[in-house]
Amino acid sequence: MVETLIFLSSGLFLGWSLGANDAANVFGTAVGSRMVRFTTAAVIASLAVIAGAVLQGAGSTTGLGKLGQIDALPGAFIVALAAAVTVLGMTRARLPVSTSQAIVGAILGWNMFSHRDTDTTILSRVVTTWVAAPVLGAIFAASLQVGIKVWLRIFKPHMLRLDQYTRWALILAGAFGAFSLGANNIGNVMGVFVPSAPFDASVIRGLTVTAEQKLFLIGGVAISVGIFTYSRRVMETIGADLLPVSPIGAFTVVVAQGLVLMVFSSRELSAWCVDHGLPAIPLIPVSSSQAVVGAVVGLGLLKGSAGLRQLRWRFLGGIALGWVTTPLIAMMLSFVALYVLQNVFGQEVHL
Amino acid sequence: MAHLSLPLFGKTRFVERGIDEFLNAVSEAGLLFGLTVVGYVQVGKIDEDCKRHQERVTTIEKRCDDLRRSIEAVLLTQMLIPETRGDVLSLIDLLDGIVDRIKRELLSMTIERPHLPESLHADLVLLVEAICAALNEMVCGSRAYFSDQRAVRHHVHKIGFYESEADAVAIRMKQLIFASTDNLAEKMMLRDFIDSLDRIADQAEDIGDRLSIFTLRRSF
- Predicted pLDDT of residue B153: 95
Q: Give A177→chain B minimum CA distance, Å.
A: 21
pLDDT digits (tens, 9 = 90+) for B14-36: 888 999 999 999 999 999 999 99
Q: Which amino acid is at B13?
A: R
User: How far apart (Å, rounded) are the C-alpha atoms in residues A101 and A84?
Assistant: 11
Summarize pLDDT for A75-99 with one digit per residue, the tens: 889 999 999 999 888 877 767 678 8
Question: Is the pLDDT assigned to residue A312 strictly greater than 90?
Answer: no
CATH of B11-218, one of 1.20.58.220, 3.20.20.370, 3.40.605.10, 3.90.1150.10: 1.20.58.220
CB atoms within 10 A of CB B6: 14
A198 C-beta neighbours (distance < 10 Å), count: 15
Rounded Cα gap, residues A161 and A138, in angstroms: 28
pLDDT at residue B8, as a whole number: 53
B19, B84, B148 ranked by CB distance to A163: nearest: B84
Q: Do A55 and A183 form a contact (C-beta atoms < 8 A)?
A: yes
Task: Give the C-alpha separation, A168 to A178, whole Å.
Answer: 15
Contact state of A161 with B82 under an 8 Å Cβ cutoff: no
Q: Considering only the beta carbons, identify the residue of B81, B146, B148 that sits closest to A247.
A: B81
Q: What is the per-residue pLDDT for A240?
A: 47
If interface means Cβ-Cβ distance under 8 Å, which residues of chain B face chain A?
12, 15-16, 19, 79-84, 88, 145-148, 150, 218-220
pLDDT the model gives residue A161: 86
Q: Which residue of B has its CA nearest to A148?
A: B220
Q: Which residues of A touch B88 (CB under 8 A)?
A: 159
pLDDT category at B6 given cuts 50, 70, 90 is low
pLDDT by residue (tens digit) across A125-148?
888 888 899 999 999 999 999 999
**What is the Cα–Cα distance from A277 to B210, expressed in whole angstroms?**
56
CB A182 within 8 A of CB A52: yes
The answer to whether the CB of A178 falls within 8 A of the CB of A26 is: yes
HSE-CB of A143 using CA atoms within 13 angstroms: 10
Q: Which pLDDT tens digit goes with each residue over A157-216?
A: 888 888 888 888 989 999 999 999 999 889 888 888 887 777 788 888 888 888 888 989
Task: Please determine, for residue B214, whether its predicted confidence score (pLDDT) is greater than 80.
Answer: yes
Task: List the single residue in A153, A163, A248 with the smallest CB-CB distance to B80.
Answer: A163
The confidence score (pLDDT) of residue A242 equals 54
Least confident of A266-280, A300-314, B115-129: A300-314
d(CA A250, CA A170): 8
Count of Cβ atoms closer than 10 Å to residue B149 Cβ: 18
Chain A's closest residue to B71, CA to CA, is A160
Burial label for A201, CB within 10 Å (0-12, 13-18, 19+), is exposed
Q: What is the rounded distance in angstroms from the CA atom of residue A93 to the CA atom of residue B214?
A: 38
Residue B5 is classified by DSSP as P
From first CA to last CA, the distance across chain A in angstroms is 20
Closest residue in A to B82 (Cα) is: A33
Q: Where along chain B do its domains lie?
A: 11-218
pLDDT band at B11 (very low <50, low <70, confident <90, very high): confident
